[in-house]
Amino acid sequence: ETGVTQSPTHLIKTRGQQVTLRCSSQSGHNTVSWYQQALGQGPQFIFQYYREEENGRGNFPPRFSGLQFPNYSSELNVNALELDDSALYLCASSLSVSTSTRETQYFGPGTRLLVL
Amino acid sequence: AQRVTQPEKLLSVFKGAPVELKCNYSYSGSPELFWYVQYSRQRLQLLLRHISRESIKGFTADLNKGETSFHLKKPFAQEEDSAMYYCALGSGGYQKVTFGTGTKLQVIP
């Protein structure tokens, strides 16, 4: 098993609330990506952080934001929750920012968020 | 825009039969293709990538740029191959990976 961990495992929030999801990357991995996986869909790229800076973003609104810390942990924050935000949120860490290298993304187990 | 299409939601095959999981992509640049697998109660993990040209657990995949396809194949299915398989496309610059909707492979004993 990989060293990527996520907390909490499950979370229930109501519409309009804010949520923070946490990820602890594999040791030494300076790149973390976050994905949203709705039921029956593949993971959808939210954004990537490299050395504590956002390095790329998918088609998600600004109310999705993140932070990466020097200790290889990171957060995904979602403000003004909507019902459609209900999904599994995955983080993935890697040694490289680029998919062109042979470095692999290692995924965490995910946090399942339910917005009521 | 990047897009990955996996036309089959479910593929059922008998043990020992050949397997082909289809994947087509749309991308204007030079594509990097991956197959990820998720076994029951396990996390998503990389199975193989086209740049490695390797066979993992008996699976192979060939990038066909003319047909924009990256189908996953295995000559003889085994029960332990039952899992969810995702085809994914990387853009190279950073680890933005576009995933397909996945195909559930069910190997019937």
Min distance A67 CA to chain B CA atoms (Å): 17
Residue B94: per-residue pLDDT:
64
Q: Which member of A42, A44, A105 has the closest CB to residue B95?
A: A105
pLDDT digit string, tens, across residues B27-39: 888 888 999 999 9
Q: Alpha-carbon distance A37 to A92, whole Å?
A: 13
pLDDT digits (tens, 9 = 90+) for B2-12: 899 999 999 99
Contact B43 A56 (CB under 8 A): no
- Flag whether pLDDT at B65 surpasses 80: yes
The answer to whether residue A1 scores a pLDDT higher than 50 is no
Spatial distance between the Cα atoms of B91 and B83, rounded to a whole number of angstroms = 26
- Is the pLDDT confidence value at A2 over 70? no
Kindly tell me if the per-residue pLDDT of A54 is higher than 80: yes
Whether the pLDDT of residue A31 is over 50: the answer is yes
Q: What is the pLDDT confidence band of residue A28, given thresholds at 50, 70 and 90? A: confident
- List residues of chain A with CB under 8 Å from any CB of chain B: 1-2, 4, 31, 33, 35, 40-45, 48, 50, 55-56, 58, 90, 92, 94, 96-100, 102, 104-110
Maximal CA-CA distance, chain A: 41
Question: Strands B103-108 and B10-14: what pairing?
Answer: parallel
Mean pLDDT, range A55-68, rounded to an integer: 94
Question: Of B27-31, B44-48, B65-69, B89-93, which range is least confident?
Answer: B89-93
Mean pLDDT, rounded, for A69-81: 94
Average pLDDT score over residue span B19-28 = 95
**Band of residue B52 on the pLDDT scale cut at 50, 70, 90:** confident
Spatial distance between the Cα atoms of A93 and A31, rounded to a whole number of angstroms: 6
Once rounded to an integer, what is the mean pLDDT over residues A71-97?
93
State how beta strands A87-94 and A31-37 pair: antiparallel
Rg (Cα) of chain B, in Å, rounded?
Answer: 13
Q: Given a cut of 50, is residue A64 above it in pLDDT?
A: yes
More confident residue, B21 or A95: B21
* Neighbouring residues of A23: CB distance < 8 A, sequence distance ≥ 6: A4, A5, A6, A32, A34, A73, A74, A75, A76, A91, A93, A108
